[in-house]
Structure formats: C-alpha cells, structure tokens
Amino acid sequence: MEKPSVLIVGAGALGIVTGYHLHLAGAEIAFLVRPNRTEALSEPQRLYCYDDHELKTFGAYKVFTSVTDAMAREHDFVIVTMDGATCRGAEATALLREIGQAMQGRRSVAVISGMGVRDYCRDVMQLPEARIVTGTMGLLSYQTDRVTLPPNPPTDQAKLASASIAYNHMGKNPGFLIVAKPAAAAKAFAALYDRSGVSRCAVIGPRLFDMFSASAFVTMAIFDLAGWPDAGELARNTALMDLASRATKEIMRLPEHGVPGKIAGLLVSPRQLAKTNRKMERDCLPVDYSAFNRFHHGGKVRDQDIGVLRSCLQAGRAHGRSMPALTELVERYERHIAEAAG
C-alpha cells in the first residue's frame, strides 16, 4: 500500500484523530458524514495533543455526504466509528447496508469500532469474514465544544481553547487496537497505522480483546454508580469494589474466553482492580480520567457499555450459569440509568 486510501464513516473525535494519524502514515483520507457536519470540516482541523501540548493541523482530507460519492473509488479500509448501540439503530443499519453493497466485488476491509457489534455489521453489510475486523481507539479523545475537563497542569489552556479536538495517549499504551483475526486484514491495518511515527497499533487476540473490553465496562459501571469519583475514593467503596471483582470474574470465566479467561479470573480482586484504576488515572494525566469517563462512558457510549454487559449476562445464562454478581450489577446499573433519565 504505497498510497492507501481510507474512508472514515463519521468525523467525531475518534474519526478525526484516527484520520490524522493515518494521514501521517501516508494514507489518503476521506470522511463520510451527515450534511450538517460539512461546514465544521470545511476548514483544517486543529487538534490539541496532550502528549506534547502542541496544536496539530489536519486538513488533508475529502468530505462526502453520500455513500455513492464516497465509494466512487475503492478504499483499502472503511472505518465505521459509530458505537455499538448506534450501529444497531435503524438509520445506522440502513447506512451500513448501503456501504456494504458498495463494497461488494471490491477488496476494501471494514474496521468496526463499536464494541460487541462486529457480527451484526458483518451480516448487515454482507461481507465475508476476511473483510471485516474489530478495531478501536486506544487513546483518549474528545470534541472540545462538548465537554470542559479540569485544567490539570501542564495543559496549555490557550492552545486547548483554539482546538476543536483534543487527544492524549495513555502513558505508553497504543493509540489504536485491532483484533488479530482475520489475520491479513489486521496486520495490514496495523502496518499502515504504525507508519504514522507518532502512534502505534496493537494487534490483540479476539479472546483477550473481548474479555478485557467487557471487563472494562464493569469498571465503568461501578464508577458511574459511585458518581464518577477519583480512583482512590472508589477504592474505599468496598461493597462496589467487591461487586466489580465478582462480576469481572464471571465475565472472564465465560467458556468463550478459554484458558486465558480462567487464568485472568484467578488474578482479579478488589485490590487488583483498585491498583489498575490508579494506574489508569496516572497514565491519563493531564487528562482527568474520571471526568473524561463521566462524559464518554457516562453519556456518549453508555448504551453501548450496558449492552455489552447484558450480552455477557445472556452468554453466561446460555451456558447454564447464574452469574449472580453480573446480574446484580446490571440490575443496579439499569435502575441508576432510569433514575438519571427521569
């Protein structure tokens, strides 16, 4: 892929930052968006990077508002940035179906960023297994007009105020994650992304990806139930930490997670979860970990998150397991969401 082409469906924070890194990697970038997003994309995007506290300019992209125009040429990758819950909606499903039809007879690979929705997208888009892969951002990113986070030093507030998108790699963690199967598609995407020189893509086995992503939503749920405190305060809520530990074990020990799940389940404890949360909090600085997650997991993708937990619960019951801790967590979380809504 000397000059690969990437179409990104959606131009929110995930789409813009991923597009920027793929642009640095030498790819031609195009966005497929709703008509009301074209004005915001008519000028180069200004991105504030917490890694070096500098502004990045990204304007080397094309913008399309129709699938016909966007798919007039063949793309190496089509990245769908909608979350798992949104993908299942009627409007998104119709869009996915149209994109899938345009991809027939071509070699384009679809990269699905929504959690727990790969198979759904595969069926709607009618793509073979070899041409659809799960991949998602591993860094923090957000649209600056949608949330104001605590101004932790050494953030340059003036530069941040002039940016439309802000992003931050979490310590030495990768900027993008791609599931290892199908192998050829995953390796090709990772090789392209890594050419950016400033961010890297990790290739992860499907069992590990599913297990750890689902387990992460347990953590987000208890943060939400506790009112999004810092990691230290949450650790002192022994009842919630115990519930999270037991629910995480139940998810990890699901048969589909195999031996790695059994081993990982042995290591889970309230103390280990608290330690992991504190590390994530440090790695995210100067971005406030809890404040970011309150915005993202407490609102933007909350429906996706609880949908994944429900799917884990259903999977466990299908195997004849009672899943008592996960049952309690999901019921409490559903009540919490209902009370917050009204």
Does 224 share its domain with 179? no
Of residues 241, 196, 198, the one with CA closest to residue 25: 196
Maximum distance among all alpha carbons in the chain?
A: 56
Place of tokens 């031996």: 259
Phi-psi region of 268 (alpha: psi -120 to 50; beta: other; left: phi over 0): beta
Q: What pTM does this model have?
A: 0.95
Does 142 share its domain with 57? yes
Of the three residues 204, 228, 251, the one that is the final residue of a domain is 204
Strand order across the 109-112 sheet: 61-64, 28-32, 5-9, 77-80, 109-112, 132-137, 176-179, 201-204
Does 71 share its domain with 164? yes
pLDDT score recorded for residue 154: 97
178 in Cβ contact with 187 (< 8 Å): no
Does 184 share its domain with 214? no
Between β-strands 77-80 and 5-9, what pairing exists: parallel, antiparallel or unpaired?
parallel
Number of CB atoms found within 10 A of residue 5's CB: 18
CATH number of domain containing 106: 3.40.50.720
The 3-state DSSP class for residue 147 equals coil
Does 120 share its domain with 261? no
Of the three residues 161, 179, 204, the one that is the final residue of a domain is 204
Domain count, the chain: 2
Domain span at residue 110?
Answer: 5-204
Parts of the chain with a pLDDT under 50: none
Does 39 share its domain with 62? yes
Does 191 share its domain with 326? no
Does 152 share its domain with 251? no
Q: How many CA atoms lie within 13 A of 64 on its CB side?
A: 17
Of the three residues 170, 204, 238, the one that is the final residue of a domain is 204
Does 128 share its domain with 149? yes
What beta strand segments (E) does 199-255 contain? 201-204
pLDDT score recorded for residue 342: 76
Does 26 share its domain with 163? yes
Distance between CA atoms of residues 342 and 339, nearest Å:
5
Place of tokens 């009618």: 126
Does 329 share its domain with 242? yes
Q: What angle do the packed helices 270-284 and 206-225 form, to 10 degrees?
A: 90
Between CA 152 and CA 160, with CA 155 as vertex, the angle to 5 degrees is 120
Does 44 share its domain with 158? yes
